[in-house]
Each structure stands twice: as C-alpha cells, then as structure tokens.
A and B are shown apart, each in its own frame.
Chain A
Amino acid sequence: MSVPNEENLSHSQLSTHFFLDLLDSIIVDVASECHRVARLGLDSNLEEEDEELKLSAQARVRAADPSNTNEANGKYVVDIFGQTHPAVANEIFECMNCGRSIMAGRFAPHLEKCMGKGRKARLKVTRSSTAAQNRYSRGSPVSTYSNYSTNCMNRLANGSSIFAGDEHSNGTLES
C-alpha cells in the first residue's frame, strides 16, 4: 500500500486513506466491467423488459377493476362459436373398457371403477420413469398422499423435476 507523504498522520487518518484507496479500486473494477459490457454490446435489451413490466402492471390494474370481472369469474353465456355448454358434459359415448354408454362428464369416475383403479385399488407407487437420473436431481419421485381424502385434490408431487433447480423438501415415497 502506498503511504501518504505526510508523516504524522493519526491511525484513523491512515486507515481512512487506505479505505479510500480500496474503495477507488472497487469503483474502477465496476466501471471497467460495465465499460466492457457496454462496448461489446452485451447488455440486454432493457427497454423491452421495461415495456413488458409496464404492460403487465397496467393489465393487473385493469383486471382488478370490478367492471371487468365477467371473464374472470368464468360466467359464460356463449362461447365464441355461439354455443352453450352444460355444467356436466353430456356427450354420450361408449366406454372403451367395458362397452357401456357413459356421459362424458361422468366418464372419469366410471373409468376409474371400470379399470379397477382408484384410491382403494391403487397400485404401488413407482418412481416416475420420466425422471432422468440426473446427478444433481433431488427431485422426488411421483408421490401420492393418501392422507388427503377429499374428492377434488390437486396432486402435489413436487413435479418430476428432471434437473436441479433449488431443492424443496420432497415428499416421502408411500407404499
């Protein structure tokens, strides 16, 4: 480190001097890096990103406006083709497992019993074959949680994350 010319500086003045030298050095570090990024044209397109953020903010304001909630609530009168649809789909077709005529909106629960699947008959959970054996993957296998017994439930498995992102605590494998 360089020592300033005056000999009789106090400790605090000396340390301030050294601190300012260090600070100068750090500032030039940043300036030098930014200069390089700018001169080589490596900075990303900030204006476009700004524009998207602005549009997004405006959109949210409009969406929060109570006069615009028709779409959001899902209260439909007609679709774009002029059709209406009942709450439970009423197309009738033949079950490909047993051959019976089933109404579309009730097909899934029928098929579940028909195929012998479902919560009670569920097979042993296996590791999802899609999870590539990635060295950094701590992704959980597909997990099921039998302690949730409500009818409509979103499957919660922490995705078959194929590769490492940050890790979450993973569900346990249930047998």
Chain B
Amino acid sequence: MSSKINGQISPQPCPHLAEFRRNSTKPFLALHSCLRIKPPGGRAALRRDPHEVPRCAACGLSAPSRLLACVTCAAISCHSAAASHAAAHAASMSPGHQIAVDVDRAELFCCACRDQVYDRDFDAAVVIAQTAASTVGESPAPQPENLRKKRRVDYRPWAPDLRERTLIGTCSGPIYGAGTGADPLPGFPRGLRGLNNLGNTCFMNSVLQALLHTPPLRNYFLSDRHNRFFCQKRNNGDGDGGGGAGKRNGGNGGNRNGRICLACDMDAMFSAVFSGDRAPYSPAKFLYSWWQHAANLASYEQQDAHEFFISMLDGIHEKVDKGRVKPHSEGKGDCCIAHKVFSGILRSDVTCMACGFTSTTYDPCIDISLDLEPNQGGSTKMATATSNHSCNGEADCMNPSQNCGTSTLMGCLKRFTRAERLGSDQKFFCRQCQVRQETLKQMSIRKLPLVSCFHIKRFEHSSTRKMSRKVDRYLQFPFSLDMSPYLSSTILRSRFGNRIFPFDGDEPDATDELCSELELFAVVTHSGKLDAGHYVTYLRLSNQWYKCDDAWVTQVDENIVRAAQCYMMFYVQKMLYYKATDKQAPS
C-alpha cells in the first residue's frame, strides 16, 4: 500500500494521480506561486490572488465542504459528499482533469476516486513555502554540531586475537564461575548486590544501583575503559593536587589516596559489585569523593536522589582533564562516559504569534524533568468507553473523551512537548516584527540519548509560601516506551501539517524507528513523607524484577513495580547502532 522513503511512508498513488504525474513534466509547478501561508500556525491555502474569494464555477457557492481547483485547468468546483461539481468536471473534461487541490487546505484530491491523495513533490512545495514564511530573511537554524550525519556502519563482532587472548588469560580472572567459591550461589544475575546504608544514604544507593545496571555504563567500566590504577598513577605523577579538574580535598589533612576521581571510585564499585561476592557493599569511598566534589551537598541528611544523580554525573565529567577535552556545553557529548550515555539534545522553538517567525535553539540535556499533570485531570491516550468524567475545562485537556483518572508518563511527555502559549508577561522580541510579541513555545527531543532518565518533579518548593510539599499522585509508566511522538522530526512534521518531507532529525534509514524504542531497566521510587522518606530501586535483569532496598535485594513480581510510586525512570534504547568514526583503529 505504501513504501518508505527517507523513513517516511509514501503512499502508493491512485491510478489517476500516477497517470497525471506521468503526463506532466513538472507537476504542481504552477501551484508554487499560489501557496499562501497564514501565520502563526503556517496553515497553507491556495489563492491566485491574495484577496481572491474562490467560488465554484458551476454553482457560485463559496462555502461548501471543499472547493477544489483542477490542477490541469484551474477551474474551481465544489465538492461535498452529497453533491460534487468537481466530480462532474472530472468526468466531463477529457482525461487529465481528475486531480484537483483543495484550495483551503492545500490537499490533493482525486475526483474520480473521491478521496484525498498524497504526493511527495506537492508536499515538498508546501513545506518549502511554510518554511520560508517562518524564517523570512534568515537561513534556517543551524544543525547542532555533533549531529553532522555520520554514516551508519554494520556491527562487526569482536574476537580477541592471539596477543589479546594471552593478555586476557594472564591479567584477568572470570567474573564468577557459577557455583564456585567466588559466587557460591549460581543462577542470580551478575552484579546484583546490596549496598549498605551509611546513614541516610538511600538516596545515593538507589541511584548507584540504577547506574550499576545501566548497560552502556556497566559495559564501559567492566571493559576496563577507566582503569583506576592507571588513572591514579597518572594523576599522582602529574603532581598531587595539581591544576585541571583537581577538587578541594576537604581540608583536614586532605586525601591520602591521590586525586579525587569519581570515575575511579565507580570503577572500584563495579569491580566489587560484579565480583560475585554477594555480601552488601559499602560505597564509603564513593561518598567521601562525592562530598569533596559537591561540597555544598556534603552533610549527613537525606538528600534528593535526582540532585545526587546530576551532581555525580557532573563529577565524572569534570574529572576529565579540561585541557584536552571540550566542555559539555558544546553539546558534543563525547567528553566523558557520563555524557556519552546520558546526554541528549533538546530543541526549543519559539514562534511569534503575529508573524509566524520561529526561532530555534538547541541545548544539551542529561535527563528530562517532568511535571506531574495538574489536578486530577490527567490525560491518557484512549477514549475509553468507561470514562464518564469531563475534564475540568483545563486548557491542556483538549479531548473531552479522554480518561481523566490516571496520570501517565506519556501524558507528561506529551505535555512537555506541547505547543505552549507563553503569557503576555513573557513577550519575546520578534526579529521580524521588531517588537515584543506573544509567542508560542514548543520543546522536542532532537537527539535521544542512549539512556534516558526521566525525573518526576514530586518535590515542590514554594519560596513565597515558605513551604514544600511532595506530590504523591500515582504516575503510570510503561515497560516499553516509544519516543517517536516526542522527537523533533515528528513534532516538526506535525507542525507542518504532517507533510511527506524529510524533517530535521529524520534519519535516512528505514529502520530508524527502532532508535526511538526504549526499554525500562531501573526505577527509583520514593515512599513516605517529604522529610522522612525512603528511596528504593527496582532493577530489571533478564526480564526479572529485583528490589534493591539498601542492603536488601529481593525478587519481586512486576506488578509491584508497576504499582510503585516512580521518581526516576531509566530507559535504554532497544537497538544500538554503530556510526563510522573518524578515529583510526588501533593497530
């Protein structure tokens, strides 16, 4: 029925459209000059003259369901299900007059098939006109630098050569042998090990458990990509406490173990946790290093797990010698393993409501913080027959048949990427209008990271009312998540009327939809009150769920996880691709 080109479905044309295309050298060329774009939404219409009021040539009506202009002779006819002068026109004129265009909607219509039809070239013309209208006088926003298209390459499995095999044999030991002394309990997944609570440190333990089982991160450290012995030796050789990213050593006699490196401490933790020893591990050194990195958070108090997550990723990043590597703010994401794994790019479009001019910026992000939907008016996809509630008339609850009972992660993401009208107190200066105008803002995900961390803003603090509260409302989250509705290419495409056209972010590869499919592997939950709560992490290993409550690791049914109060969710891309690299392969 349809074929995929550029990752976009191109439906098979009806025989009349196919014939029309065969017979014309440059179909639709005449229409280019008639396309009128209406700001700010960019709705396209066709008018020969800007003030033309189209009327049906046969009956003079100008407001039936559709007014269709014949693409061959420009005659305008009306069309509705009841009566169609357009069909009469197509039948009466010699063949070649079946294809028409809906003048108010810029949609192709086959009068013989009596159905809307689609064509790449026509859509391309519409998009070009729409783009020109929204970026008048300026070239379109430059692509974020690190998304220059890299050729996708096939996965080539690696096998060690003789020299490497010798190295492996002499310099490493197996992670465990099932049922042997190192791990007397076979059958449990590797790396499953409790973490001791060092005194209100469940916020740290919960995030560490998720990271210990974050596939790309786990693979990185277990592949010895950051060897703590080499790192410490090299750093101490440079002179202790030297420049670069050296951190404060916390006063009092300083750090006796050399320079602080959170990545080294992570390496030690991975080694310990995957060693096969199942007695709970105490991440004391990690706490010590982290407190030196994040001095303002260093205190014996319960902390926010999300804040810890951001802080420690930053710590791993900063460890990299600043002289050698570009900072993350350039969005490269190649600076350190933390950013390679978690860094994505967000796109923000600000559109002037008066003239449609759109300004686009790209920013890197490590995670996505989402607001819970306000009130009980959550939005879910389906119009269920059982839903009797009407929404509270909230502006963002558009569909009256939506089930207003449950908040969902997808609902939050939908809300995150919706076009939001900024208030009149937040007018932006429009370069085209040269005055401050009201604007429409829309976020979308330009590049999805390898691992997506979604953080739910459950802790609200109001400085005005000097109080804080925790939002306990349940949030549904799926085990499998398709992010394509929230990607920039999709959002942009729908803004341009879902035209067939390669949009920013479209991969020239038919299998790219797999890139946006994610699988959940860790959930950090919070229970209890604001000031006396507890964090617990659920891990999914080989499709089995485990509860990690500090030192206690137990197996749980997936329903327990589904019903839990999520705070941070970790999803990994189902399918990873290799891209051609500029680097030479080591010889």
A161 to chain B, nearest CB (A): 5
A6 contacts B by Cβ under 8 Å: no
B223 contacts A by Cβ under 8 Å: no
B149-178 contacts to A (CB < 8 Å): none
B23 contacts A by Cβ under 8 Å: no
Contact at B556–A36, with CB atoms within 8 Å? Answer: no
Contact at A152–B299, with CB atoms within 8 Å? Answer: no
Please give me the residue from chain A that is nearest to B479 by CB atom: A52
Q: Choose among B11, B197, B470 the residue that contacts A105 (Cβ–Cβ < 8 A).
A: B197
Q: What are 6 contact pairs spanning A and B, CB under 8 A?
A: A48-B478, A60-B563, A108-B199, A153-B302, A154-B304, A165-B443
Contact at B278–A81, with CB atoms within 8 Å? Answer: yes
Given contacts A118-B300, A159-B307, contact A25 B480 (CB under 8 A): no
Q: Which residues of A contact B581 (CB under 8 A)?
A: none
Given contacts A85-B194, A150-B531, contact A50 B562 (CB under 8 A): no
Q: Which 9 residue pairs across A and B have the least CB separation, nearest first? A: A108-B199, A59-B562, A63-B563, A59-B559, A89-B196, A130-B314, A52-B478, A155-B304, A85-B551
Given contacts A60-B563, A91-B282, contact A157 B304 (CB under 8 A): yes
Please give me the residue from chain B that is nearest to A161 by CB atom: B369
18 additional contacts, CB 8 Å, given A93-B282, A115-B288?
A: A32-B116, A41-B2, A42-B498, A48-B478, A49-B382, A50-B382, A53-B406, A72-B560, A91-B282, A104-B282, A108-B198, A117-B295, A154-B533, A156-B304, A157-B307, A162-B310, A163-B363, A169-B464
Q: How far is the CA of A49 from the CA of B371 in the complex (A)?
A: 20
Contact at B118–A96, with CB atoms within 8 Å? Answer: no
Q: Choose among B310, B381, B490, B560 the residue that contacts A128 (Cβ–Cβ < 8 A).
A: B310
Given contacts A115-B251, A159-B457, contact A89 B302 (CB under 8 A): no
Q: How far is the CA of A66 from the CA of B84 in the complex (A)?
A: 65
Between B9, B461, B558, the greatest number of chain A beta carbons within 10 A of the residue's beta carbon is seen for: B461
- Over the window 50-75 of chain A, the binary record of Cβ atoms lying under 8 Å from chain B Cβ atoms (1 yes, 0 no) is 10110111111011100000011010
Contact at A125–B296, with CB atoms within 8 Å? Answer: yes
- Over the window 518-561 of chain B, the binary record of Cβ atoms lying under 8 Å from chain A Cβ atoms (1 yes, 0 no) is 00000000100011111010000000001101111111101111
Contact at B9–A41, with CB atoms within 8 Å? Answer: yes
B185 to chain A, nearest CB (A): 5
Between A29, A50, A123, A136, the greatest number of chain B beta carbons within 10 A of the residue's beta carbon is seen for: A136
Q: How far is the CA of A12 from the CA of B455 in the complex (A)?
A: 54
B45-68 contacts to A (CB < 8 Å): 60-66
B201 contacts A by Cβ under 8 Å: yes
Q: Interface residues of B, CB < 8 Å — how many?
A: 136
Contact at B476–A53, with CB atoms within 8 Å? Answer: yes
Q: How far is the CA of A143 from the CA of B297 in the complex (A)?
A: 9
- Over the window 68-106 of chain A, the binary record of Cβ atoms lying under 8 Å from chain B Cβ atoms (1 yes, 0 no) is 000110101001111101000101010011100000111
Contact at B559–A58, with CB atoms within 8 Å? Answer: yes
Given contacts A21-B63, A40-B118, contact A89 B551 (CB under 8 A): yes
B445-472 contacts to A (CB < 8 Å): 455, 457, 459-464, 466, 468, 470
Please give me the residue from chain A that is nearest to B312 by CB atom: A130
Q: How far is the CA of A40 from the CA of B250 in the complex (A)?
A: 60
Contact at A104–B198, with CB atoms within 8 Å? Answer: yes
A58 to chain B, nearest CB (A): 7
Q: How far is the CA of A150 from the CA of B128 in the complex (A)?
A: 61
Q: Choose among B250, B284, B455, B459 the residue that contacts A115 (Cβ–Cβ < 8 A).
A: B250
B280 contacts A by Cβ under 8 Å: yes
B71 to chain A, nearest CB (A): 17
B115-147 contacts to A (CB < 8 Å): 116, 118
Q: Which residues of A contact B279 (CB under 8 A)?
A: 83
A152 to chain B, nearest CB (A): 5
B540 to chain A, nearest CB (A): 14
Contact at B365–A129, with CB atoms within 8 Å? Answer: no
Q: Which residues of B contact A148 (CB under 8 A)?
A: 531
Q: Which residues of B contact A107 (CB under 8 A)?
A: 198-199, 282, 284, 287
Given contacts A96-B288, A105-B196, A165-B369, contact A155 B102 (CB under 8 A): no
Contact at B250–A132, with CB atoms within 8 Å? Answer: no
Contact at A155–B303, with CB atoms within 8 Å? Answer: yes
Q: Which residues of A contact B556 (CB under 8 A)?
A: 71
Q: Which residues of A contact B225 (CB under 8 A)?
A: none
A153 to chain B, nearest CB (A): 5
B579 contacts A by Cβ under 8 Å: no
B274-305 contacts to A (CB < 8 Å): 278-280, 282, 284-285, 287-288, 291-292, 295-304
Q: Which residues of B contact A125 (CB under 8 A)?
A: 296
Q: Which residues of A contact B470 (CB under 8 A)?
A: 154
Contact at A155–B302, with CB atoms within 8 Å? Answer: yes
Contact at B250–A97, with CB atoms within 8 Å? Answer: yes
Q: How far is the CA of A168 from the CA of B8 in the complex (A)?
A: 38
A135 contacts B by Cβ under 8 Å: yes
Q: How far is the CA of A168 from the CA of B250 in the complex (A)?
A: 34
Q: How far is the CA of A172 from the CA of B559 in the complex (A)?
A: 40
B485 contacts A by Cβ under 8 Å: yes
Please give me the residue from chain A that is nearest to B53 by CB atom: A1
Q: How far is the CA of A104 from the CA of B257 in the complex (A)?
A: 20
Contact at A96–B257, with CB atoms within 8 Å? Answer: yes
Contact at A89–B560, with CB atoms within 8 Å? Answer: no
A116 to chain B, nearest CB (A): 5
Contact at A40–B9, with CB atoms within 8 Å? Answer: yes
B400 to chain A, nearest CB (A): 14
Contact at A152–B62, with CB atoms within 8 Å? Answer: no
A76 to chain B, nearest CB (A): 5
A22 to chain B, nearest CB (A): 8
